[in-house]
Structure 1
Amino acid sequence: MPQNSESESRKLLGRLRDALAEESAGQQRLDRITQLIASSMETEVCSIYLFRDAETLELCATEGLKVEAVHQTRLRLGEGLVGRVARLGRPVNAADAPAAPGFRYMPETGEEAYSSFLGIPVQRLGEKLGVLVVQSKDARAYTDDEVYALEVVAMVLAEMTELGAFTGEGAALAVRHQQQVLFKGTVAQEGIAVGQVYLHEPRVVVTNPIADDPAAEQDRLDAAVEQLRRSVDGLLAGTAMADKDQREVLETYRMFANSRSWLRRMTEDIAAGLSAEAAVEKEQSAARTRLQSVPDAYMRDRMHDLDDLSNRLLRILTGQGRETGCEMPPNPILVARNIGPAELLDYGRDLRGIVLEQGSVGSHAAIVARALAIPLVIHADGIATEALNGDPILVDGEQGFVHLRPEERIIGSFRDKLAMQAKAQERYADLRDKPATTRCGTTVSLMMNAGLMADLPSLKGSGAEGVGLFRTELQFLTRNKVPRRGELAALYARVLDAATGRRVIFRTLDIGSDKVLPYMRRVDEPNPALGWRAIRVGLDKKGVMRMQLQALIRAAAGRPLWVMFPFVAQFEEFREGRALLLREIEGERRLGHELPSSVRIGAMLETPSLAFAPRQFFEMADFISIGGNDLKQFFFAADRENEKVRRRYDTLNVSFLTFIAQIVARCEETGTPLSFCGEDAGRPIEAVCLAAMGLRSLSMRPASIGPVKHLLCRVDLGAVRARIERAGAEGEQSVRPAVIELLQNDGWAI
């Protein structure tokens, strides 16, 4: 870039800084800025359009167009050349604007007199804030230097908009980060939470986008980049024995950190008048825009690497970050784009709720959230950008809504709901030590699901009769390398100790699909949920399975041992897994180690195929647990990650309940104990229907045991079964309305 152009940019930015420093209302600032830009660039028109909402741009200030059009002219995202700039996130430079694709004539502005058009997006880290436009009567394309200069100005406008410089009297713009916002996400863990935002990665706020001394800013940038490079090299040095994929990610970080073109662009931005921080953010925003439009998925993934690296550099420059940020507020609700299981476990049970922009219902974070019984909503797009530390926030983990900065009426209704739940829990406490015996005299065993040592105290408090599912993968997911056999044996022994004689069913390692170990190479599969996962991985990687089985045997040491293999699709897989466990027991006997007092070997029935396995399977299995979450998605061919279809099919569908009844009948023929494990087991109406179909053991999260027991103790399963059968005979698709009607007629408010 020519030196004189850089000098002109610095002069313009200096004038903008002076204008922004003046004591004036937001509208006056906007008007002054458009005058300065038009004068500096020698154009007849300069206009600023800002977003009124996510889909609407509003003309907020202009020099050259009709003043009466300000706050009256509005465009939809993608409408006209201005809307096109906003939608693409890239400049539009047209010498003959009326002939350009997408042009829309706006007669109220008087723009017909101007031929040339240059529009620059005003955006900050992927967040669309507005569009900066210059126009001239001459039919000419603006030079690269002029485009660049306007991009630098747009960067400053983005930062000033973020800081609320254009709000106030006359601006007709709401103050940012103060309005209430409703986000619709996906429920990954049920529950309701009221609290305050705690950002996992606080926003780095650039308060000094314009700098007077380019040499000093360049020195600051060089020092920060050098520190960044050293930290990345240190991370690489500490992963000499790490998985190849992990090293590849860090090598990518090092490549970006040493990129000459990245550093050159930031150097040019500083020479044009930006501070070091603003230069980093400008290039981060530009890279996001470029990579988001790339069709190659691998290249789009690199956006996250560059984002992370840029954020690290910004934290070095500003000294901002989690370690220097605000303290965790009371009743914290964690807000993040995404988070790993180990990081989430570091927060522990201090959190009241979690809201993520990314993730999945089967992700590592969801597994930990379920283990900690913390409400979790995922796919809340944009919340990490909109939320600020300390903002009031409500998480509705029943419907998937997140209320950020809600009005008092909504807060009140949430608190009423929480109070009602607390009152109900007091009623359930009276049932804690009583069996779940129905009015017709049938007793249903209620077990709890667990995955962490921290879950075990809930055994006594919830009234659970034991642990129907202990997820062993969490100990693998939260480490950077395979845990040692001795570590696992000690952990499993502590679990059995904490259970004080109650049954604990250990599910062997259930990885694959979206549960990929940090040190395991990710296998690209078209449909991971139907791919290489769970027992399939264990049988192909017998070393890991043998090590885990040895740890379980040693942990039992004279106590009963219950082991369950997940995702069994056919008899042979179970038979092979069972034989492997029996061989390990024999090996431990030869070594002279104390053996379990008894061993029960079972399988999770999560695939419809296993329900039709040969009779020998049911005779060989010591017990079977229906994995309701997976079985339902495979039965209905409806991916539980897909919001368009996952709620389309009801657990209380006649065909699904008929299928459950068939499984119950097969187990009854061979006397094989059968249980149901999954989210539906913890929903009272679903639990009653499952019990009516013949299931006598249900496993659920601890908090669900009270409500389920409360309803079970007050129903006649025979009457429920008769109503289900009648609904089926009448051709009803779901029995839910019929069962609810039956319960209401019996005096229950549903």
Structure 2
Amino acid sequence: MPEETGPGPKGPGENKGVESRILLKRLSQVMAEPGEGQERLDRITAMIARSLATEVCSVYLKRDEKTLELCSTEGLRKESVHVSTLRVGQGLVGRIAEQAEPVNTADAPNEKGFRYLKETGEELYSSFLGVPIQRVGEVLGVLVVQTREPRAFTEDEIHGLEIVAMVIAEMTELGAFIGPGAMEMAVTHRRPFFAKGLSAQEGVCEGTVILHEPNIVASVPVAEDPEVERARLLAAVQELRLEVDRMLENDMLAHSGEHREVLETYRLFAHDKGWLRRMEESIDRGLSAILAVEKEQSATRTRMERITDPYLRERLHDLDDIANRLLRHVAGQQNGTAGLPEDAVLVARSIGPGDLLDYGRSLRGVVLEEGSVGSHAAVVARALAIPLVIQAARITREAQNGDRILVDGDEGVAHLRPEETVYKAFHEKVAMRTQAKEVYTALRDLPAETLDGTRLNLMMNAGLMADLPSLGTCGAEGVGLYRTELQFLVRSSVPRRSDQAGFYSRVLDAAKGKRVIFRTLDIGSDKVLPYMKRQEEPNPALGWRAIRVGLDRRGVMRMQLQALLRGAKGRPLSVMFPFVAQLDEFETAREMLLSEVESERAHGRVVPESLEIGAMLETPSLAFAPDEFFRLTDFISIGGNDLKQFFFAADRENERVRRRYDTLNVSFLTFIEMIVKRCEAFDVPLSFCGEDAGRPIEALAFAAMGLRSLSMRPASIGPVKRLLRSVDLSAARQVIDSARRSGTQSVRPALSAWLTAQNAPV
């Protein structure tokens, strides 16, 4: 159809508009004309209405997350512009914004959910076609066309309007509609943005945003030459295919496993003809190569929001990731960690432990849209001692490289482009933390001894070589838990025995004679190795994990035990088995380790001068194990994170339930007291390891229940030691016992009130 051809008379149901390619060309011409944002948007709505032979074309943009505002119209009453608003979900326009799907009806007033806006005069119009104005899955507004006569718009018209809406979204992102007055609302990435998420690692920081997946905006969204754009897309697809092939050909991945299955899925998507055909069709309709990829990615993200099946959702995540990779190839960009600013704060949808370690200690903090408190990224962030906020909705949509950001890991919030008042309050908090840190440093070499002379042993948790320097500076008396699985999680293949032995040796070297308790491989549940096939289980937390995996895959466990023995190089060695649920599991694992000791000795290799074999008590069943268990074990460490979730039947990854159950609940403290007494009866050393050990009030309660060893994050040792050194432990026990006798559910209110009265430094 020649560009000059106008909409001639057509029969009912026939396409009355023009091809989307011509429509986009006209749109490009309109965009090139001078004018302010409002004037430009008005010209666009007039052009669309004229081109599609409709009496009305309207653009609604989001004023905020819940409100849509009529920003431009051709055909409705002009005085309603910037006056008429709808809530997301309200009326047909609100429904489109909420569901990110078109609405096409020939009888809008009788359509379910229709809302009449008197001030617009839209009662005159019968037919209605509305499409979301969205960019990479984020709805920015709604584009609507209407006619007086009943008219069912064709699939081609719907598709064409969607393509136009994408260009409007891209131009909104580029700031094309910003203007004085009411159109200031079109400003993106300039206003302050507050993200409320969850705390996965405490701490506060201020820094510069670095996006793990930088936003790519098409400066020229309309294809001036479709053949050039098609060639650009095909070249990028070829580069993507070669990239995936290279990853698959990597020698370290030359075996089966979940990681390879993911790459095979990537290859299927990269070679999928339907995927490529849909992008080529978008280019033929007038979109640039970048927008063609973005359109496909938006459709994927919209589908992801509706999928509940975990397998299908994971596949859509794979497709979204491969689209991101393709987008970078089209734009000629590549990710990299070089050249980071000194105060870099990483912002991402999600990130794996390997990628996070690549950034390493060059980061001040991390903010993620997804993630959980027990995720691999959270474990690494804790090891690196950098603040981490997770589940911060829309942060990747709002953030731009170079933005200023304040991260409060204590509260689980992030302030993007903060106002001056927020800056001031934040800096006051930082100053208070700095003063407290100076106090903790002064306590570093003093014992954790209460006013009545009770001495506690405070240990630190670790999992990376990067943790070990903290051992000498935080005041810890040793490492109460060394997570050996992190060395496995960040690699694409099983570490060789010699590599493991060398690593464990370096850990002991760095500890400089202080005790290190190595926990054997704790995988399964939320910790799945990249090269290990995921087990489809109804409840992975209660499934095939930790020692259960080790006893079923004895080759891997024996190799790790041999590496630990050789890495000790004759020094004392402490080994702890995780997730022991009953006596026979511990007996079998213990015999395996003792057998390896004898084998090493028989082969003339040096063995540890002393060997301690312990277990983590993470299941309630182990607290009621036969006496023989307590006779056999050299030490026990309560794994507080798992024990608490099993005790209360509350998944610690489920935010709806995990915060309902207090660690200072009378039932839980009574259970801890029972474990203490069983260990005392057999003279078994007992410690508590977990997040709660690093919370001062909880640590005090555990000490009052009889625990004398606590293992926590290095940063928690100072606050815990400071509180313990300022209180009388026997008096604290009296407060707890009195609260228990009163019939209260938790001793926290009573203990907190007592500490306040004592002016204790909580």
Task: Please indicate the TM-score interval, normalised by the length of the shorter structure.
Answer: over 0.9
Counterparts of residues 230-245 of structure 1 (less than 5 Å): 230-238=242-250, 241-245=254-258
Provide the rounded CA distance (Å) in 2 between the counterparts of 1:246 and 1:689.
Answer: 43
- Bigger shift: 179-188 or 487-496? 179-188
Q: Deviations over 1:43-69 (max 9, x none)?
A: 100000111111211111100001111
Match of 1:668 in 2: 680
Per the TM alignment, residue 644 of structure 1 is displaced from its structure 2 partner at its CA by 1.7
Match of 2:490 in 1: 478
Per the TM alignment, residue 296 of structure 1 is displaced from its structure 2 partner at its CA by 4.3
Establish whether residue 422 from structure 1 lines up as the match of residue 422 from structure 2: no
Provide the rounded CA distance (Å) in 1 between the counterparts of 2:227 and 2:570.
Answer: 73
1:278 to 267, 272, 291: 291
Opposite residue 423 of structure 2, the aligned amino acid is I
Opposite residue 317 of structure 2, the aligned amino acid is H
Aligned-residue sequence identity (percent) comes to: 64
Per the TM alignment, residue 635 of structure 1 is displaced from its structure 2 partner at its CA by 1.2
**Count, aligned residues:** 749
Match of 1:594 in 2: 606
Provide the rounded CA distance (Å) in 2 between the counterparts of 1:444 and 1:614.
Answer: 28
Provide the rounded CA distance (Å) in 1 between the counterparts of 2:521 and 2:364.
Answer: 28
1:208 to 187, 195, 220: 220
Provide the rounded CA distance (Å) in 1 between the counterparts of 2:313 and 2:620.
Answer: 37
Provide the rounded CA distance (Å) in 2 between the counterparts of 1:244 and 1:639.
Answer: 27
Opposite residue 397 of structure 1, the aligned amino acid is G
2:516 to 500, 504, 509: 504
Establish whether residue 641 from structure 1 lines up as the match of residue 662 from structure 2: no
Per the TM alignment, residue 651 of structure 1 is displaced from its structure 2 partner at its CA by 1.2
Opposite residue 217 of structure 2, the aligned amino acid is V
Task: Let me know the Cα RMSD of the aligned residues.
Answer: 1.9
SS of 1:253's equivalent?
A: helix
Match of 1:322 in 2: 335
Normalising by the residue count of structure 1, what TM-score does the alignment of the two structures yield? 0.97
Provide the rounded CA distance (Å) in 1 between the counterparts of 2:745 and 2:656.
Answer: 19
Match of 2:20 in 1: 9
Provide the rounded CA distance (Å) in 2 between the counterparts of 1:554 and 1:683.
Answer: 36
Provide the rounded CA distance (Å) in 2 between the counterparts of 1:530 and 1:123.
Answer: 41
Provide the rounded CA distance (Å) in 2 between the counterparts of 1:740 and 1:359.
Answer: 32
SS of 2:132's equivalent?
A: strand
Provide the rounded CA distance (Å) in 2 between the counterparts of 1:344 and 1:183.
Answer: 21
- Bigger shift: 288-297 or 502-511? 288-297
Provide the rounded CA distance (Å) in 1 between the counterparts of 2:761 and 2:361.
Answer: 33
Opposite residue 133 of structure 2, the aligned amino acid is V
2:282 to 264, 269, 275: 269
Match of 1:458 in 2: 470
Provide the rounded CA distance (Å) in 2 between the counterparts of 1:744 and 1:115.
Answer: 68
Q: Deviations over 1:198-254 (max 9, x none)?
A: 111111121110122112222222222222222222222226623243333222222
SS of 2:418's equivalent?
A: coil
User: Where does structure 1 differ by over 4 angstroms across 4 or more consecutive aligned residues?
Assistant: 1-7
Counterparts of residues 287-436 of structure 1 (less than 5 Å): 287-294=300-307, 296-323=309-336, 327-436=339-448
Per the TM alignment, residue 174 of structure 1 is displaced from its structure 2 partner at its CA by 4.5
Opposite residue 527 of structure 2, the aligned amino acid is K
Provide the rounded CA distance (Å) in 2 between the counterparts of 1:650 and 1:716.
Answer: 23
Provide the rounded CA distance (Å) in 2 between the counterparts of 1:112 and 1:669.
Answer: 83
Q: Structure 1 residues 150 and 104 mapped into 2: Cα distance closer, same or farther (>3 Å)?
A: same
Q: Deviations over 1:61-113 (max 9, x none)?
A: 10000111111111122211111222221211111112222222222111111
Provide the rounded CA distance (Å) in 2 between the counterparts of 1:423 and 1:291.
Answer: 46
Per the TM alignment, residue 291 of structure 1 is displaced from its structure 2 partner at its CA by 4.8
Per the TM alignment, residue 294 of structure 1 is displaced from its structure 2 partner at its CA by 4.5
Q: Structure 1 residues 413 and 295 mapped into 2: Cα distance closer, same or farther (>3 Å)?
A: closer
1:67 to 66, 78, 90: 78
Match of 2:108 in 1: 97
Match of 2:10 in 1: none
Establish whether residue 567 from structure 1 lines up as the match of residue 579 from structure 2: yes
Tell whether the 8 Å contact from 1:633 to 1:639 is kept in structure 2 after alignment. Answer: yes
Provide the rounded CA distance (Å) in 2 between the counterparts of 1:549 and 1:147.
Answer: 63
2:210 to 195, 198, 203: 198
Per the TM alignment, residue 414 of structure 1 is displaced from its structure 2 partner at its CA by 1.8
Opposite residue 716 of structure 2, the aligned amino acid is S
Tell whether the 8 Å contact from 1:94 to 1:116 is kept in structure 2 after alignment. Answer: yes
Q: Deviations over 1:655-692 (max 9, x none)?
A: 21111111111111110001111111111121111111
Match of 2:459 in 1: 447
Match of 1:624 in 2: 636
Tell whether the 8 Å contact from 1:59 to 1:73 is kept in structure 2 after alignment. Answer: yes
Match of 1:87 in 2: 98
- Bigger shift: 262-271 or 659-668? 262-271
Provide the rounded CA distance (Å) in 2 between the counterparts of 1:151 and 1:2.
Answer: 22
Per the TM alignment, residue 2 of structure 1 is displaced from its structure 2 partner at its CA by 12
Provide the rounded CA distance (Å) in 2 between the counterparts of 1:183 and 1:63.
Answer: 36
Provide the rounded CA distance (Å) in 2 between the counterparts of 1:290 and 1:42.
Answer: 31
Tell whether the 8 Å contact from 1:204 to 1:321 is kept in structure 2 after alignment. Answer: no
Per the TM alignment, residue 503 of structure 1 is displaced from its structure 2 partner at its CA by 0.5
Q: Structure 1 residues 411 and 543 mapped into 2: Cα distance closer, same or farther (>3 Å)?
A: same
SS of 1:352's equivalent?
A: strand
Where do 5+ consecutive residues of structure 2 fail to align?
Answer: 6-14
1:610 to 622, 626, 629: 622
